[in-house]
Structure 1
Amino acid sequence: MPFATTDDHVKLWYEEAGSGQPIVFVHEFAADHRSWELQMRHFGQRYRCITYGARGYPPSEVPEKPERYSQDRATDDIAAVMNHLGIDKAHVVGLSMGGFATLHFGFRHPTRALSLVVAGVGYGAERDQQAKFRGEVEAVAKSLREEGMEAFAGKYAYGPTRVQFENKDPRGFAQFKKELGEHSALGSANTQLGVQGQRPSLYDLIDQMRALTIPTLVLTGDEDWPCLSPSLLMKREIPSAALAVMPNCGHTINLEDPDLFNRIVGDFIVQVEAGRWPRRDPRAMTASITGMR
């Protein structure tokens, strides 16, 4: 099996499809590398596509201590996979936890990103929600440790921003829930404690956002309630960002509506490749509503 090794000696399993400009897909907390299969097939017809399992997600290695997991490590693990494959620059596409890692990749490794797709990002990001979110992180980790992965999946899969997926595609949802139940309870608990629970608020990263010039697509479902306001924040503060909202969609947008997701992301990458992705005109950022004052 193919593995890349990180700077702190953790083995990450990866797979590839296609050839051309590289695209790296970074998965969310409740998914793994398998969740990008529909994107690997679609984009693999024109690009070199790579996806991998985050640390804590078999067949990637599962470090035993939460201290081996953090937002910075999750971000730098993208670079580790690229380094192993000899990739200097790539389009990086991430959902939720993977979207946070993608955004931070733009902050920490700006010369290595051709573009960023920051999808489904915002859970716990607002300052007045952080204490509540961290409390839920502790509850999730406790459930994982005490009840195990399968019992946890039977509850977590039916969250308020995932029922849309079940209603729209029961067969796809059943596969998602089954694969969630196959994860490592230890790895998932450590990911919650080390990555999810300790990451900084987006509202504390505004200076970094304003300095970001990499072509960026912010993408969210319109029923992914915790991500709507943070998505507007990123659109407003990142001068190279556009915002796309997928109608009647929850959180797991690449699985829930893969055709629309692939079309939006594909059009974005084509514009970037053509050198036609704009930066915001400063005249659009005025205090005046009409521009007359």
Structure 2
Amino acid sequence: MPFATTDDGVKLYYEEVGSGAPIVFVHEFAADHRSWEGQMRHFGQRYRCITWSARGYPPSDVPETPESYSQNRAADDIVAILDHLGLAQAHIVGLSMGGFATLHFGFRHAKRAKSLVVAGCGYGAEKQETTKFKGEAEVVARTLLGEGMQKFAEKYAYGPTRVQLENKDPRGFAQFKKELGEHSALGSANTQIGVQGARPSLYDLVEQMRALTVPTLILTGDEDWPCLAPGILMKREIPSAALSVMPNCGHTINLEDPDQFNRLVGDFVVQVEAGRWPQRDPRAVRTSITGMEK
């Protein structure tokens, strides 16, 4: 089995397929490397595609203490994958927890990013939701450690932004729930404590967003309620960002509507590779509604 080793000695299991410009897929909290199979098969026909299981997600190592997990670690683990494979740059595509890691990778390692796809990113970001979200992260961690992964999966899989997948694709949902139940309860609990519950609000990162010039695509489902306003925030503040909202979709957009997800990401990557992705025209952010201010 192929593994990359991080600077703190954690082994990360990865898979790759194809050749050409590299695309790296970064999974969400409730998933692992297997959740990107539809993208690995699709994009692997024309690109070099890589995905991996984050620390805490077997067959990657499961560090025993929450101190080994953080938002910065999640971003830097992308670097460990790139370094192990000898890649100077790559297109980085992340969903949810992976979307946060992708955004922070752009902040911390912009020169290593050909582009960023920040999908389903925003849980707990709004200021009025921060305290509630951190409290829920603690509840999730206690539930994982107290009840185990299988019982947790039976509850978590039916969240308000995940039932859309069940309604659209019952077989795909059953696979998602089964794979969630196979995760490490300890690794998932530590991820909740060290990454999810401790990460900064997107609304405190506006200055970093304004300095980001890497081509960026923000993707969200229109029923992924916690991510809608943060998606607009990122679109407004990142001068190289575009925003696309997928209709009748919840959180797991790469599983819910893989055709549309792949098309949006594919069109974006083609434009970036061609050198045709724009920076926003400053005239597009004038305070006047009509441009006819006095």
State the TM-score, normalizing by the size of structure 2. Answer: 0.99
**Matched letter for residue 191 of structure 2:** T
In structure 2, stretches of 5+ residues that fail to align are: none
How far the C-alpha of 1:127 sits from its partner, in A, is 1.1
Q: Any gaps of 5 or more consecutive residues in structure 1?
A: none
Tell me how far apart the structure 2 counterparts of residues 134 and 201 of structure 1 sit (CA, whole Å).
Answer: 11
Equivalent position of 2:112 in the other structure: 112
Q: How does 1:221-260 map to 2 (within 5 A)?
A: 221-260=221-260
Q: Residue 53 of structure 1: CA displacement? A: 0.5
Aligned-partner residue type, residue 63 of structure 2: P
- The question of 1:29 aligning with 2:25 is answered no
**C-alpha distance in 2, partners of 1:169/1:38?**
14
Separation in 2, partners of 1:221, 1:127: 21
CA separation in 1, counterparts of 2:46 and 2:102?
A: 22
| Structure-1 separation of matches of 2:246 and 2:163 | 15
Counting matched residue pairs gives 293
- Deviations 1:1-60, CA, capped at 9 Å, x for gaps: 100000000000000010001000000000000000000000000000000000000000
Q: Which residue of 2 aligns with 1:45?
A: 45
Instruction: Give the deviation of 1:263 after TM superposition.
Output: 0.3
1:255 offset after TM fit, Å? 0.4
Matched residue type, 2:212: L
* Matches of 1:143 and 1:259, distance apart in 2: 35
Verify: 1:142 aligned to 2:142, yes or no.
yes
Work out the percentage of aligned pairs sharing the same amino acid.
80
Partner of 1:166: 166
Write the distance in 2 (CA, Å) between the matches of 1:82 and 1:283: 37
- CA distance in structure 2 between the partners assigned to 1:111 and 1:122 by the alignment: 24
- SS for the counterpart of 2:117 is strand
CA deviation digits over 1:125-145, x for unaligned, max 9? 011110000000000001000
AA partner of residue 72 (structure 1): N
Deviation at 1:232, TM superposition (A): 0.1
CA displacement 1:51-96 (0-9 Å, x = unmatched): 0000000000000000000000000000001100000000000000
Alpha-carbon offset, residue 146 of structure 1: 0.4
The DSSP-based 3-state class of the residue aligned with 1:117 is: strand
SS of aligned partner of 1:50: strand
In structure 1, the partner of 2:123 is 123
Q: Alignment RMSD, CA only?
A: 0.3
In 2, the alpha carbon distance for the partners of 1:107 and 1:61 equals 26
Residue 251 of structure 2 aligns to a residue in which SS? coil
Runs of 4+ in 1 over 6 A off after TM superposition: none
In structure 1, the residue matched to 2:83 is: 83
Q: Which residue of 2 aligns with 1:202?
A: 202
Which amino acid letter does the alignment assign opposite residue 112 of structure 1? R
Distance 1:198 1:125 in 2: 11
In the alignment, what sits opposite 2:68?
68
CA–CA separation in structure 1 for the residues paired with 2:259 and 2:287:
38
Q: Give the SS at the match of 2:219.
A: strand
Equivalent-residue separation in structure 2 for 1:40 and 1:285 (angstroms): 37
Task: Determine the C-alpha separation between the residues in 2 that align with 1:163 and 1:65.
Answer: 32
- TM-score using structure 1 length: 1.00
Are 2:92 and 1:92 aligned?
yes
Q: C-alpha displacement at 1:277, in angstroms?
A: 0.4
Q: Deviations over 1:87-113 (max 9, x none)?
A: 000000000000000000000001000
